[in-house]
Amino acid sequence: LDGWAFKNNIVIKDHRSLEDRQTAARFLQKKNPLCPVVLDTMENLSSSKYAALPERLYLLQGGKVIYKGGPGPWNYHPQEIGAILEKLK
């Protein structure tokens, strides 16, 4: 096998419709994940708007982006998010 190998991976086929994505999201929700499960449009609008390649941090409040970090790995600074969250307490 090429690439990364993780234990307990869940393999989901490529989505061909929004219904496929909804089915996959429901399946993942049943696994009680530690983070919210969201799905994108079939046009991948969220992915193109908030692309995380390379990784990037966003902080949203009330449906608005209040922090957009620089692209990683060189401009990836989790401590900036921490400072903002402390101020919002």
Strand runs (DSSP E) across 1-89, as ranges?
58-61, 64-68
pTM of the full structure = 0.53
CB 67 within 8 A of CB 57: yes
Q: pLDDT category, 80, cuts 50, 70, 90?
A: very high
- Take residue 36 and report the two structure tokens written for it: 């919210």
% of the chain at pLDDT higher than 70:
90
Mean pLDDT, residues 77-89 = 90
Instruction: Please name the residue that has the structure tokens 């990836």.
Output: 76
Decide if pLDDT at 31 tops 80.
yes
Closest CA to 28 of 8, 48, 42: 8
Domain boundaries, the chain: 1-49, 52-89
Decide if pLDDT at 7 tops 80.
no
pLDDT tens digit sequence for 49-79: 877 667 888 899 998 999 999 887 788 888 9
Q: pLDDT category, 5, cuts 50, 70, 90?
A: low
